[in-house]
Chain A
Amino acid sequence: MLNTLLPILLFAALGLALIGVLRRVSLWRNGRAAKVDLLGGLLAMPKRYMVDLHHVVARDKYIANTHVATAGGAVASIILAILVHGFGLHNRVLGYALLLMSAVMFVGAIFMYLRRRHPPSRLSKGPWMRLPKSLLAFSGSFFVVTLPVAGVLPANFGGWLLAIILGIGLLWGVCELFLGMTWGGPMKHAFAGALHLAWHRRPERFGGGRSTGLKPLDLTDRTAPLGVEKPKDFTWNQLLGFDACVQCGKCEAACPAFAAGQPLNPKKLIQDMVVGLAGGTDANFAGSPYPSLDGMGKPIGEHGGNPHQPIVNGLVDADTLWSCTTCRACVEECPMMIEHVDAIVDMRRHLTLEKGATPNKGAEVLENLIATDNPGGFAPGGRMNWAADLNLEVMSHKKTVDVLFWVGDGAFDMRNQRTLRAFVKVLKAARVDFAVLGLEERDSGDVARRLGDEATFQMLARRNIQTLAQYDFKRIVTCDPHSFHVLKNEYGAFEGHYVVQHHSTYLAELIADGALNVGQHKGTSVTYHDPCYLGRYNGEYQAPRDVLRALGIEVKEMVRSGFRSRCCGGGGGAPITDIPGKQRIPDMRMDDIRETGAELVAVGCPQCTAMLEGVVEPRPMIKDIAELVADALFEETAPAKPAAARREPAEAH
């Protein structure tokens, strides 16, 4: 009986699944064209899956092992089941292989079931609670129906009753795996995920690479939309990427805006994009909603959309998009390597460039950037006031230099001027041949770009690149990770290619080369806060720690440090758009800092400095790495007085 039904069931399900594939593909094809290496991507996919994706999943050993067993067992079981029960190849070896694989899958599914007994809040419930049971039904039923094939049990054992139970189990399992895969069940992640890995919009990320720079808009193409208004304005492989989400909530757990009670949940956002690409409402979403100020969360089921409907104020509220600090914690944690930040900035671009709807101080900051090249609207002529007494060399005189010191807009900020002056002191002590652009420097364009104003970003970038093109330098060094990231990773698209270093990296080099004579840091215990744009964006975790160690500091690490560092709340223009939440992100970060018991937190970013110093006292002190190094410098004028006469004029420290 089952022997006749089973092939019919299998092939019918396969056929329906295939129709599902075509439908899903047609949904993705609503998106815009993208340059993708279709064949190369497919060929690279297995390796990307087994190496790169597994590398992320393996941060949680339990789930990694469980997933290997379940997914590996499932893929093998499906293929073997089609051979054995579909085509009727009742071969003993195949039979035993199928038994083994379905057993492995069964064990994996049991562990998955156990994990789901008390699921953490980041996991979606709903159909995802059913999935482990479906997998058990699938593997268990196939195990039992395969026993006769392997010759372990006689055919027709168990009689009608068992046949009926098995039949139900098989139907359930096959539906979940075959149909759910392509018709939008939880198993969709396997099908969409595999293709997403193959046709990822940042293939450079695989094989240990890094790709974090935002992709430019072609402003000369008048037909291309300025950012994303409707789901169909995403590229097709972005839509495909959204479909790959497994709703694991790793992104939600890492998101500082979500934790602060701002109305953003990256997981929900990705699921809303799935709703947008497929059409419908978010009523079936079974995870944490966007937080709301009353603590209840924004109600589910009131938002909906389709590929041809504007996203904002249909599917997603604008404040959700403006809550993001672009810290990339979500992208870093996502096992499916989905690009949340790209999607958020794409939608912001539409709001800023088409709607003129950058909230709060956004419009003012953008106007200032256009009219004064700095976000504060300060007179451009004051850009060098911080160094009035330092006699800095300027590129327009010097032309050729080893190190071009990129000052950044911190030049206008009194607190950051202390850092800049400390760094200059260190450069001078190390006798570095350096110069600044002086009044020729402009804002790097970081904030404009993250606020969605691609036009202003490109204007600033082009002018800076033009300025830099006139001079000869070996490298650019900056104390600002945002400028660092933009100069290093985002100017390339406009023919600006430079060797760029963050000052911590350069300081580490100077110390390693013995060019700096530093003493020991005195007193207080120290922790270190990794800036997002240095760490996750550029992978520099070591150099700042090396510098601190050279000062005799043993860093008291925070639980969330390195690639798991929590944002200070200052990125992505978030302090400018200032979306209210239950608490402030820098306060949460300060709690992380307090937990270590450190009395001082070393930072490497003007934004982090400003955000953390904005936390009310009493709190640990905040010092930039450059300040710590400058404080520990051995003064050169220390030796006996007479010798000083023959020395070069003392430097102004």
Chain B
Amino acid sequence: MDKSALHVISLVSVGAHPTSGRPRRAEQDARAVELGLQLAGDNLHVLHAGDAEEPALRGYLGMGVDELHVLAQPPGADALPGLADYIRESGVQLVLTGSQAETGEGSGMLPYLLAEKLGWPLVVGMAEVESMSNGTAQVLQALPRGQRRRLKVRLPFLATVDNSAPKPRQSAYGPAQRGLLDVEEIDVVIDEVFAGAELTPAKPRPKRLKVIKAKSGADRMKAATAKASGGGGQVLKGVTAQEGAAAILKLLVEEGVVR
């Protein structure tokens, strides 16, 4: 892959340390930058929508990024329209982002909404880009239990990274201090839904009971390490969209998600 020919944007947000809650570079966003640096080198474009004064942003510059572009936004503003406009005009081939922000709403919806708005494909949990040529990319998507799925995606596309993506490099003080923040004022769109909402601390989600019927140590190990994967899955092949949708709806009703 020719690094200089590749145009990649990594979207970053301000994170929060899990035990102290102090601002820091967000873990997954840092992985998005790391992957971006490995793909595009110095060509990587790092983009943030929010407050340019936040010192934690320098954590990304410390990874060896010369410049960080900031779309200035007050807290509570909807980052989506500004980001979508910026990305659409940038002529970029790949946009990388973490799966979920550590601060703010943290709904994990941004990549989906952004992809929808841009009309681009979205790869969730991308672990590696294997090749890029002729307007398509071959990538590996991370699945539970270390499994990988090889996907062919047409460019441009959007991808989220999670903990299967390469570990972010150390952020160094010198480059972090020297790096530039390129701030751009954009129209502020107040997020009405968010502004009107009330935030309460999250409660841990109840876990599904796992009944372990293991006979051997290896089985127990598997049961202990496996993510709950349902098991009762059903592969629908060669059905019409209507049939597919009906099957999904039926499942959702059965599971009590839709009433």
| Interface residue ranges, A against B (CB under 8 Å) | 226, 352-358, 362-363, 366-367, 370-373, 377-380, 453-456
New A-B contacts (15) at CB < 8 Å, excluding given A371-B22, A372-B19, A377-B17? A226-B174, A353-B174, A355-B172, A357-B170, A358-B170, A363-B169, A363-B171, A366-B170, A367-B171, A371-B17, A372-B20, A378-B19, A380-B19, A380-B20, A454-B173
* A contact residues around B24 at 8 Å (CB): 367, 370-371
Consensus secondary structure, chain A interface: helix
* A contact residues around B22 at 8 Å (CB): 371-372
How many angstroms from the CA of A429 to the CA of B20 in the assembled complex? 35
Which single member of B20, B170, B171 contacts A379 (CB below 8 Å)? B20
A356 in contact with B20 (CB, 8 Å): no
| Interface residue ranges, B against A (CB under 8 Å) | 17, 19-20, 22, 24, 62-64, 169-175
Residue of B nearest to A368 (CB): B17
Which single member of B17, B19, B62 contacts A356 (CB below 8 Å)? B62
* A contact residues around B173 at 8 Å (CB): 226, 352-354, 453-456
Residue of B nearest to A453 (CB): B173
B17 in contact with A372 (CB, 8 Å): yes
How many angstroms from the CA of A357 to the CA of B171 in the assembled complex? 9
How many angstroms from the CA of A357 to the CA of B22 in the assembled complex? 24
How many angstroms from the CA of A410 to the CA of B251 in the assembled complex? 53
* A contact residues around B62 at 8 Å (CB): 356
B37 to chain A, nearest CB (A): 12
How many angstroms from the CA of A123 to the CA of B145 in the assembled complex? 56
Consensus secondary structure, chain B interface: loop
* B contact residues around A372 at 8 Å (CB): 17, 19-20, 22
A475 to chain B, nearest CB (A): 30
How many angstroms from the CA of A454 to the CA of B177 in the assembled complex? 14
How many angstroms from the CA of A367 to the CA of B24 in the assembled complex? 9
* B contact residues around A370 at 8 Å (CB): 24
* A contact residues around B17 at 8 Å (CB): 371-372, 377
Which 3 pairs show the lowest CB-CB distances between chains A and B? A356-B172, A356-B170, A363-B170
* B contact residues around A380 at 8 Å (CB): 19-20
Which of A372, A373, A456 is most buried by chain B, counting CB atoms within 10 A of its CB? A372
Residue of B nearest to A350 (CB): B174
* A contact residues around B64 at 8 Å (CB): 356
How many angstroms from the CA of A453 to the CA of B170 in the assembled complex? 12
B19 in contact with A377 (CB, 8 Å): yes
How many angstroms from the CA of A169 to the CA of B20 in the assembled complex? 75
How many angstroms from the CA of A357 to the CA of B172 in the assembled complex? 8
How many angstroms from the CA of A189 to the CA of B172 in the assembled complex? 38
How many angstroms from the CA of A300 to the CA of B101 in the assembled complex? 51
Residue of A nearest to B174 (CB): A354
Residue of B nearest to A355 (CB): B172
* A contact residues around B172 at 8 Å (CB): 352-357
Ordered by A's residue number, 23 sampled pairs between the chains whose C-beta atoms are within 8 Å are A352-B170, A352-B172, A352-B173, A353-B174, A354-B172, A354-B173, A354-B174, A355-B172, A356-B169, A356-B172, A357-B172, A362-B170, A363-B170, A363-B171, A370-B24, A371-B17, A371-B20, A372-B17, A377-B17, A379-B20, A453-B173, A455-B173, A456-B173
How many angstroms from the CA of A366 to the CA of B20 in the assembled complex? 15
Residue of B nearest to A358 (CB): B170
How many angstroms from the CA of A226 to the CA of B63 in the assembled complex? 16
A286 to chain B, nearest CB (A): 37
How many angstroms from the CA of A39 to the CA of B142 in the assembled complex? 68
* B contact residues around A367 at 8 Å (CB): 24, 171
* B contact residues around A357 at 8 Å (CB): 170, 172
B25 to chain A, nearest CB (A): 9
A150 to chain B, nearest CB (A): 66
* A contact residues around B63 at 8 Å (CB): 356
A354 in contact with B175 (CB, 8 Å): yes
A354 to chain B, nearest CB (A): 4
Residue of B nearest to A371 (CB): B17
How many angstroms from the CA of A377 to the CA of B17 in the assembled complex? 9
